[in-house]
Amino acid sequence: MTTAAKNGVTAPKLIIEGLSKQYGAVTALEPIYLTVPTGEFLTLLGPSGSGKTTLLQMICGLAEPSSGRILIDGRDQTQTPVHQRDIGLVFQHYALFPHLTVAENIEFPLRMRALSATEIKQRVKNVLTMVQLDHLAARFPRELSGGQQQRVALARSFVYQPSIILMDEPLGALDKKLREHMQIEIKQLHRETGATIIYVTHDQEEALALSDRICLMNLARIEQLGSPHEIYARPATAFAADFIGISNIFRGQVDTSNGEARISTPHGKFRLPTGASLSGTEAAIVIRPEQISLGGDKENTVVGRVIDAVYAGSETRLIVDLDEGETVIVRLPPGHPAPAYGERAALGWNPDAAVLVP
């Protein structure tokens, strides 16, 4: 699945061992462990304050860890100063040097590495071609559009082929259309260069679209680590289910007394997916909107009133208020007849389509 696996290279590029960060009494990051194989596109995804930016800053050396080690290509780099760490970083607002032209901005890291003039020229030319900005080499950053500035920032961090490229919400300042376009370009750059990329975002759609693996973070911890499909299909926690994609979550008590595992919720007793097990009794089941069908299921059915039907082109989203006071979202395939506002509807799902989470 990962680029690394495809290339047959499996050596870990980055190993993080027990890295943590305290700001006084505030814990910005609990000790975490993470291994990133060479060539992987890993996304740090999470809400504000989840610790993803702190982690990013410690990897590139802009913040100092309170404990733990950072190994890049097997070498301990925890104490290496920023400028010797050989890491690329694309800043949220690009941080292009306003007094330098596009070409000079891109040359900067090469000059710092004292490359020969011909080598610098060649590399700048290549990378400018790669991001399709050859014609703008002599411009100043302020003369460029947001998307062009973004490309310069990308070129500047790719040109010196750093061991890892970090990106801190690089598309945050762009509008939706441009953002989607740049996502494709970043993905292409990743494929062409084989670079190891760690990408920070709070946008779950972006994470799903780009990543080999997603590292979902919450409350200064790693919530779940896995491929986009794994996290979507088998969320490890209610938070993961809620943060990635749309989820219907029913909380309740697990009851295994009658030989068959069931969960009793305010909306009724539901059968659990086969093989699901849990240590405690407090739990929740997660059902994705596309797994719910109108008309009910013979075992798991809830009843409510339709309060809205949102037409979104490729699908219709049905919003149903349950009688016990919770909202369920149902995704109907195109062309499927949708009940009208105020109508009552029975909703059901196959027990094996649900996921049990703590």
**259 CB-contact burial (10 Å; exposed 0-12 / middle 13-18 / buried 19+):** exposed
Cβ contact 292:318 at 8 Å: no
The distance from CA 115 to its chain's CA centroid, rounded to whole angstroms, is 36
The number of residues in the chain equals 358
Cβ contact 42:211 at 8 Å: yes
Nearer to another protein, 96 or 225 (CB): 96
Answer yes or no whether residue 93 interacts with another protein by CB under 8 A: yes
The binder of another protein chosen from 8, 74, 75, 84 (CB under 8 A): 84
Q: What DSSP assignment string belongs to 210-272? A: H-SEEEEEETTEEEEEE-HHHHHHS-SSHHHHHHSS--EEEEEEEE-TTSS-EEEETTEEEEP
Angle made by CA atoms 340, 343, 348, in degrees to the nearest 5: 100
- Helix and strand element counts for the chain (H, E): 9, 20
Element (H, E) at 189: helix 176-193
Nearer to another protein, 46 or 228 (CB): 46
Cβ contact 56:44 at 8 Å: yes
Q: How far is the CB of 42 from another protein (least distance, A)?
A: 17
Rounded to whole angstroms, the Cα distance separating 41 from 213 reads: 7
Per-position x/- string for 140-169, each x denoting binding to another protein as judged by CB under 8 A, each - no binding:
----------------xx--x-------xx
Nearer to another protein, 9 or 91 (CB): 91
Size of the site for another protein (CB under 8 A): 42
The binder of another protein chosen from 27, 30, 91, 193 (CB under 8 A): 91
Answer yes or no whether residue 89 interacts with another protein by CB under 8 A: yes
Answer yes or no whether residue 76 interacts with another protein by CB under 8 A: no
Residue 245 structure tokens = 């994609």
Answer yes or no whether residue 296 interacts with another protein by CB under 8 A: no
Q: How far is the CB of 175 from another protein (least distance, A)?
A: 19
Q: How far is the CB of 112 from another protein (least distance, A)?
A: 4
Answer yes or no whether residue 219 interacts with another protein by CB under 8 A: no
Nearer to another protein, 98 or 333 (CB): 98
* Contacting another protein within 98-127 (CB under 8 A): 98-99, 108-109, 112-113
The binder of another protein chosen from 7, 11, 97, 269 (CB under 8 A): 97
Q: How far is the CB of 95 from another protein (least distance, A)?
A: 4
For residue 181, the SS3 value is helix
Ordered strands of the 327-332 beta sheet: 293-294, 344-348, 301-311, 316-322, 327-332
* Contacting another protein within 178-217 (CB under 8 A): 200, 202
The binder of another protein chosen from 9, 12, 22, 309 (CB under 8 A): 22
Q: Which residues lie near another protein (CB under 8 A)?
A: 22-24, 48-49, 53, 57, 60-64, 66, 81-89, 91-93, 95-99, 108-109, 112-113, 156-157, 160, 168-169, 172, 200, 202
